[in-house]
Structure 1
């Protein structure tokens, strides 16, 4: 057990035993060591099973909407979780006095599927050391490059720590700057090639709504995509285009770049490429340095007479 994991368990046990929170949301045992699952501890015994290791990958903020506890809820928050909580607070889906945030710094989460491909066996544990990942399997410990083992979303993460917390397990790190290299590459293609690219991607969509259900910014009580007068339930290329473009526009300016939509997609559609395009445009058009971080005044949540209207001259297409 790591020192941070021990501190997490002790703090969660204390919060639950004292009644400061009714539930603590973190990670607990999954069906194998490399796949811990979201864990809802409701007593000190449940807190004793909390895990904190490099395989803890899912963003936990969305689970605040699923918790039925009548009282305050504690939640473990890395950078992506913290942004998700801020998003829910800004959208008034969660009350600040109902959330007790325990912050922790994250240097990336190991993708168990990538780790299996690299190691050739089921990983039992992992350690992050700079640009290296040490994977332990039944046959021993081996070293691999960080980029070959971490989730893709973690490789471009600019927020290792939440921006605030009620308690900290370690020292927070300052945020960085998010870049969008894949967007530039796609924009260099002509319109026909871009259309062919998105046609290949969206033709695989099952319309399972996993992207919507995983997204901390996509949480309307009544979703327009569930209403047949706006979009019928049939799976076709036209409907799939409409579904994904509608969802992308609805979270534009609100996406926190956590990558949960893409991670949840069983068809492996690169949804973050579309979200990154919107974020890059918001940055360039409105001068918002960090469009994925919730702000007091958001560019697409208000109107100003001097708002940019670059589309009149024609702009790059997604």
Structure 2
């Protein structure tokens, strides 16, 4: 990945020097091998800190939300999931395409820095190294789907057969079995909202769960409030989840959040598809369940 790092630095220096962008968003190396983290270069001198390595896992599209109200031109490195996240922001009207210069990088799959921390901590059993972060194992699109400049050779999607097998297994459960399954996993939730903070599709300026009048969920972590949080959040993801897997990766209690998202991905594709969120950008186009008409059927009300 050294060649890609050098090319990213070259492009970033050129864009900053020519004034095409006022900032360039990528990753920098931390003090430990696994501590690669998002980084913003604002001067040509800063570009030497930019890296692209096996721990460049964070979805950088989420960082763009901090700058949605500005007018700066921003350069950004985008893997497959990052680029799908960028499309999510464009479709949601959170960002303008003309403010972005997207440098696409095909992704060979990343390692999970959080798993590396656990392995080194001594507090957890050392997990076998599969070579890839869990979220990268079934990646359907490792290549950027929107970009102004592309670096490197395109990768082959790693999606396995039986992509929705676990979803189907749960669908085959009885109602009581499904309830007990979700009651067990949601009872672990401490409502830290890390999943919300890491999600590029959770881009509301005021989250429903931060509202106090009315207060939609209580502050305690009761099972009913946990159900409310996860089911409402999941419904907001329908047709909008770009499968970057960051929500599940950052969950401190290992709730299989992508299992819920995959159920919605499967159903949206069945009822409104074929459709995969964030795979193509057409100005003005909206994903399923994001456009409404007065004469829409409402027999379910």
Q: TM-score range by the shorter chain?
A: 0.7 to 0.9
Tell me how far apart the structure 1 counterparts of residues 286 and 92 of structure 2 sit (CA, whole Å).
12
Deviations 1:5-40 (A, max 9, x none): 111111111111211111111110223112201111
Alignment pair present for 1:302 and 2:288: no
Q: Which has the higher strand share?
A: 1
Counterpart in 1 of 2:104? 103
Counterpart in 2 of 1:260? 246
Q: Which stretch shows the higher mean deviation, 285-294 or 91-100? A: 285-294
Tell me how far apart the structure 2 counterparts of residues 121 and 218 of structure 1 sit (CA, whole Å).
31
Aligned residue runs from structure 1 range 1-318, under 5 A = 2-67=2-67, 70-112=71-113, 114=115, 148-173=130-155, 179-228=163-212, 229=214, 230-291=216-277, 293=279, 296-303=285-292
Q: CA-atom RMSD, angstroms?
A: 2.9
The structural deviation recorded for 1:308 is 9.9
- When residues 294 and 235 of structure 1 are mapped into structure 2, their CA distance, relative to the original with a 3 A threshold, is farther
CA contact (8 A) 2:107 2:155 kept: no
- When residues 306 and 155 of structure 1 are mapped into structure 2, their CA distance, relative to the original with a 3 A threshold, is farther
The structural deviation recorded for 1:292 is 5.5
- When residues 190 and 292 of structure 1 are mapped into structure 2, their CA distance, relative to the original with a 3 A threshold, is farther
Q: Which stretch shows the higher mean deviation, 233-242 or 184-193? A: 184-193
Q: Which has the higher contact order (CA 8 A, sep 6+)?
A: 2
Tell me how far apart the structure 1 counterparts of residues 182 and 96 of structure 2 sit (CA, whole Å).
38
Tell me how far apart the structure 2 counterparts of residues 291 and 168 of structure 1 sit (CA, whole Å).
21
Structure 2 length normalisation: TM-score?
A: 0.86
CA contact (8 A) 2:138 2:159 kept: no
CA contact (8 A) 1:114 1:149 kept: no
Tell me how far apart the structure 2 counterparts of residues 241 and 292 of structure 1 sit (CA, whole Å).
27
Unaligned runs of 5+ in 2: 122-127
The structural deviation recorded for 1:304 is 7.7
- When residues 299 and 175 of structure 1 are mapped into structure 2, their CA distance, relative to the original with a 3 A threshold, is farther
Aligned length: 287
Counterpart in 2 of 1:316? none
Q: Which stretch shows the higher mean deviation, 158-167 or 77-86? A: 158-167
Unaligned runs of 5+ in 1: 123-144, 312-318
Tell me how far apart the structure 2 counterparts of residues 304 and 285 of structure 1 sit (CA, whole Å).
18
Secondary structure of the residue aligned to 2:66 is coil
Structure 1 length normalisation: TM-score?
A: 0.82
Tell me how far apart the structure 2 counterparts of residues 307 and 175 of structure 1 sit (CA, whole Å).
37
CA contact (8 A) 1:262 1:269 kept: yes
CA contact (8 A) 1:87 1:294 kept: no
- When residues 121 and 226 of structure 1 are mapped into structure 2, their CA distance, relative to the original with a 3 A threshold, is closer
